[in-house]
Structure 1
Amino acid sequence: MERCTSIPEAMREALPILATLNEHGHEAVFVGGCVRDTVMGLALKDVDIATSATPEQVVALFAYCIPTGLQHGTVTVMQDRTGYEVTTYRKESVYEKHRRPESVAFISELKEDLLRRDLTINAMAMRINGDYYDPYGGMSDIQLQQVRCVGDAEARFQEDALRMLRALRFASQFSFRIVYRTWRALLKHRELLRYVAMERVQAELDKMIGGPAPHYAASLLAGSGLLAYTLEPLPAARVLLAEAAKAERVQLDYLTALDSVDIRYAALLTRPGVMPEEAKATLQALRMSGSRSGIIMAIISLHHELIANRSLTEEKLRTSWIEAVLRYGREAAASWLHIAEANGREHPFLADLPRMKHWLSQMDISSLKELAINGNQLAAYWDRKPGPWMGETLKRLLLLVALGELANSQEQLLKQVDRWKEETDEP
């Protein structure tokens, strides 16, 4: 039996919980991701504990517990202001709609508890003395850099269809391959993904696209065809699926240079062939929040506006670019430039990027709130009721200041309004 020679600090802090359970005759071990990451030498995110003690026995042993999920055997035990999930060994009944077990039964055997887990690399345990317990070969799979289901892959995916996305996620996270039997079972049962809520699909995609190898994740998603079987259609996924159908390599290595998951989504959704309305419908289907969708769609809309004007002369391109910055925001423009630079030779505006970066840096202001005059001041100056004329006038002034053709001072702005009034009898 292998032993951990140096238990990570995060797990050492939880050892008193294991010790208390052991002292009262209950088996208790670390399980799941914390064990996997310890074996791989990675930083720990969460520390989970499994035990032969029932939830009631756990609650009786510790001063402060939170009944996180008693029906599933989980109690959160507070230790030095840190919460640790302690879950009773269990086995699960038939799964309802390929997603959740109809019921759970508490058991006393660790091996049987680990059998219900999805992947071998997530089905390892560590005892209080550092000994690893690995009945299903998780350590071997880590050494071989492969993802494999615990036991029968077909059974695991039929029990919980989300496990198919999790298999892809862990493969991309660690740059592991998926073993043949697990891959074959995934392809056979991929239509079961329609039983998974779109919020859960989004959560897994966020981890894949925001992970260390989004290009590999995209290739796995394309090759598996999983995104064609979601509960609600993802229209933008057709581009990835079409490339996979043609056996084309998905050229997305540049995504790793982008520093946020939402900018990576924007990069994917501005690829050739993805229409803005498809991008928007995809974000809606994924239950993306309004704030995240707004950020992503601003980049996408700016991109398509520029694509429509890419044959313009330099001066007209400058005006078009500055107008787009004012419409969609400096942040969206900076993110679009980041995507374009990362994409490199594949990007249609590659030759224009230095000038566009310079033009952006030269913009004194980029929003109405930075203008030296507001609507109320403008209305008071003309002794006129607010109306649509006010917003249009402020936008015209903003563009002139952003283009560097007008100083951002109240005096100069009002003089420009006077000139317009003289020309048209209207500000």
Structure 2
Amino acid sequence: MKLTLPTLLEAAVPIVAKLEENGYEAVFVGGAVRDTVIGLPVKDVDIATSARPEQVMALFPKCIPTGLQHGTITIVHEGETYEVTTYRQESAYEDYRKPSGVAYITSLEGDLLRRDFTINAMALKKDGSVYDPYSGSDDIELRYIRCVGDADARFQEDALRMMRAVRFIAVYGYQPTVSTWRALKKHRELMQHIAMERVQAELDKMLAGSDPRRALSWLHASGLLFKLKDKLPLLQSLIRNCTLSTRQSSKVYGRISLLDDLDCRWAAVLIESAISSEAADESLRLLKLSNNRRMRITGLIRLHENALGVRSEGAVNAPSLKRWWVETVIREGRQMSEDWLLVEAALHRHEVGSGSDAIDLAMLKDQLNAFPIVTLKQLDVNGRMLAQRLMKPAGPWVSRCLHRLLVHVASCELANERETLFEQAELWDKEDNNNE
């Protein structure tokens, strides 16, 4: 098989050529080769070579010893960086995750043998010819995920490969071979040795793929999530939805792929699984998501819960709904509110809920676009001005008054003009004094 090199690989040909000119073998490996064979865009470039790290560094003026202990050197060429790794064999693995050491070899076939799946064990030469000793291209044509060599050994070496198998099954729409799937289910208990951060990274990639529903269904079938070192509170609801018929599951999760943003996809999955914001927060903490991501995802779920609360109170008339929406946008911010509308639109198409008390999403979007301001910084007065105008010492009343003014301006009930705002604040102050 001979292929046309994509642009990213073509740009790295001078590195491969220089290694070859000096008597070493050098080829492209990894995901770039797999995606080139499949016909997908290439995202990164990895090069493997028979040259040892010190020999690589002697040939290229700009090098970074990023992974010297594993034989990896980063070469800077025309402003781009490329990882070049010496052919190697790996010794016994520790903690079912990482090899205890590596030994450099000169055989490309031996280097490819240590890789996880046949579709990742191909090499591409600079002339476009494919070296494929383990029939990865055949498995791509047959749409199979197959371990290189002994599947039991591959998963016992690195248990994270089981999550990667499910990801490839989902992202590429492939099927596992019988031996690979049998070995995965046999060794899934080993997931307890994998750091939750690594699990989270794989889940991110699954949800970011073209078919999150397929990923969740295969995750359910694998049982991997039940074998993690930390139990996730979201599992029961998530798995329940994955056990629905294909048609029902497609209805529940099928529209999540309409969302471009990964965190919005997370929120949509958790909302559709009827997982509370509290349970979601605990699960995302265990998965080691960053605080910013966790707060954003749980914020979207909380906003959904608030909307359901408004519906259950039967207060979905135009004025009360608008006031709830104004308060929500002020509290959560415009961006969070816009994201929530996108999530709800993907899940429910037009409305939150059904019947006469359903919340019309298009109406909320129109209102959001019409709000003149939504933050205190945009208000034409501040606390110091307010205290001076009313000739009162600063105190809690200032923040209450500013918030009240902001709600009225955002609702288009007051103009955002300083004198108008002062007059309204004076009126409220007088009413409060009379009531006292």
TM-score, structure 2 normalization? 0.92
The corresponding residue for 2:70 is 72
Alpha-carbon distance in 2 for matches of 1:219, 1:245: 7
CA displacement, residues 268-306 of structure 1 (integer Å, 9 cap, x when unaligned)? 122253011011112212222222223222212211111
* Conserved? CA contact 2:238–2:270, under 8 Å: no
Alpha-carbon distance in 1 for matches of 2:189, 2:321: 47
* Alpha-carbon spacing, 1:39–1:237, altered in 2? closer, same or farther (3 Å): same
Q: CA deviation at 1:404?
A: 2.2
Paired positions, count: 425
Alpha-carbon distance in 1 for matches of 2:349, 2:416: 38
Q: CA deviation at 1:346?
A: 9.3
Q: CA deviation at 1:344?
A: 2.9
Match of 1:362 among 370, 383, 394: 370
Match of 2:193 among 192, 195, 209: 195
SS at match of 1:270: helix
Q: Residue 2 of structure 2 aligns to which amino acid in structure 1? A: R
Aligned pair 1:284/2:288, yes or no? no
* Conserved? CA contact 1:196–1:231, under 8 Å: yes
Q: CA deviation at 1:191?
A: 2.1
Alpha-carbon distance in 1 for matches of 2:414, 2:353: 28
The corresponding residue for 1:12 is 10
Alpha-carbon distance in 2 for matches of 1:189, 1:284: 26
Q: Residue 279 of structure 1 aligns to which amino acid in structure 2? A: A
Q: CA deviation at 1:313?
A: 3.4
* Conserved? CA contact 2:350–2:361, under 8 Å: no
CA displacement, residues 238-297 of structure 1 (integer Å, 9 cap, x when unaligned)? 212233456675331101111110111111122253011011112212222222223222
The corresponding residue for 2:422 is 414
Q: Residue 102 of structure 2 aligns to which amino acid in structure 1? A: V
The corresponding residue for 1:382 is 390
* Conserved? CA contact 1:225–1:241, under 8 Å: no
Q: Residue 319 of structure 1 aligns to which amino acid in structure 2? A: R
Alpha-carbon distance in 2 for matches of 1:126, 1:273: 47
The corresponding residue for 2:297 is 296
Alpha-carbon distance in 2 for matches of 1:291, 1:412: 38
The percentage of counterpart residues that share the same residue type is 47
The corresponding residue for 2:348 is 344
Which runs of structure 2 are paired with 1:249-288 in the superposition (5 Å)?
Answer: 249-250=248-249, 251-288=252-289
Match of 1:167 among 165, 168, 180: 165
Alpha-carbon distance in 2 for matches of 1:286, 1:272: 18
Aligned pair 1:47/2:45, yes or no? yes
Alpha-carbon distance in 2 for matches of 1:96, 1:385: 66
Alpha-carbon distance in 2 for matches of 1:45, 1:381: 60
Alpha-carbon distance in 1 for matches of 2:290, 2:393: 37
Q: CA deviation at 1:26?
A: 1.6
Alpha-carbon distance in 2 for matches of 1:236, 1:370: 39
Q: CA deviation at 1:45?
A: 1.1
* Conserved? CA contact 1:340–1:349, under 8 Å: no
CA displacement, residues 339-398 of structure 1 (integer Å, 9 cap, x when unaligned)? 222223696346522322222222222121221111222222233343322212111111
SS at match of 1:44: coil
Q: CA deviation at 1:104?
A: 0.8
* Alpha-carbon spacing, 1:364–1:24, altered in 2? closer, same or farther (3 Å): same
Alpha-carbon distance in 2 for matches of 1:87, 1:54: 8
* Conserved? CA contact 1:120–1:138, under 8 Å: yes
* Alpha-carbon spacing, 1:188–1:380, altered in 2? closer, same or farther (3 Å): farther
* Alpha-carbon spacing, 1:388–1:221, altered in 2? closer, same or farther (3 Å): farther
Alpha-carbon distance in 1 for matches of 2:185, 2:165: 12
Aligned pair 1:112/2:110, yes or no? yes
Alpha-carbon distance in 1 for matches of 2:229, 2:392: 54
The corresponding residue for 1:125 is 123
The corresponding residue for 1:31 is 29
SS at match of 2:15: helix
* Alpha-carbon spacing, 1:425–1:388, altered in 2? closer, same or farther (3 Å): same
Q: CA deviation at 1:74?
A: 0.6
Q: Residue 344 of structure 1 aligns to which amino acid in structure 2? A: H
Q: Residue 81 of structure 2 aligns to which amino acid in structure 1? A: G
* Alpha-carbon spacing, 1:381–1:113, altered in 2? closer, same or farther (3 Å): same
Q: CA deviation at 1:220?
A: 1.7
Q: Residue 329 of structure 1 aligns to which amino acid in structure 2? A: G
The corresponding residue for 2:432 is 424
Alpha-carbon distance in 1 for matches of 2:103, 2:348: 55
Alpha-carbon distance in 1 for matches of 2:149, 2:383: 68
Alpha-carbon distance in 1 for matches of 2:22, 2:84: 15
* Conserved? CA contact 2:387–2:394, under 8 Å: yes
Gaps of 5+ in 1: none
The corresponding residue for 1:393 is 401
Q: Residue 322 of structure 2 aligns to which amino acid in structure 1? A: R
